[in-house]
Structure 1
């Protein structure tokens, strides 16, 4: 039988200068890891330069 997965996406928004703080990302990764989520992808989206939003995609076995 194949495994079933739950997925979670979290958007890490930029500060007022348009920059995503690496510390924010680290905190979110640690928090979700402690809850049993595994990071499977991270995407940077540029909405309007220089504003970049990071999207973290996690999975956890159902």
Structure 2
């Protein structure tokens, strides 16, 4: 039997003037990891637009 997955997308927004702060991105990713989510991909559309972090975990 194959594994079934749940998927979860988190939007990480840049700050108004300075873009993304490394510590804030790490905290957002770590928070999801503590909940059992594994990062699959990060999607960027354009500079100064939110990042879309895609996570998965077994269902």
Q: Give TM class, smaller chain.
A: 0.7 to 0.9
TM-score by length of 1: 0.83
Match in the other structure for 2:8: 8
Residue in 1 that maps onto 2:22: 22
Runs of 4+ in 1 over 3 A off after TM superposition: none
More strand by share: 1
Q: CA deviation at 1:2?
A: 0.9
Q: What is the total number of aligned residue pairs between the two structures?
A: 59
Instruction: Tell me what 1:57 maps to.
Output: 54
TM-score of the two chains, using structure 2 as the length reference: 0.87
What stretches of structure 1 of length at least 5 have no aligned partner?
A: none
Root mean square deviation, CA, Å: 1.3
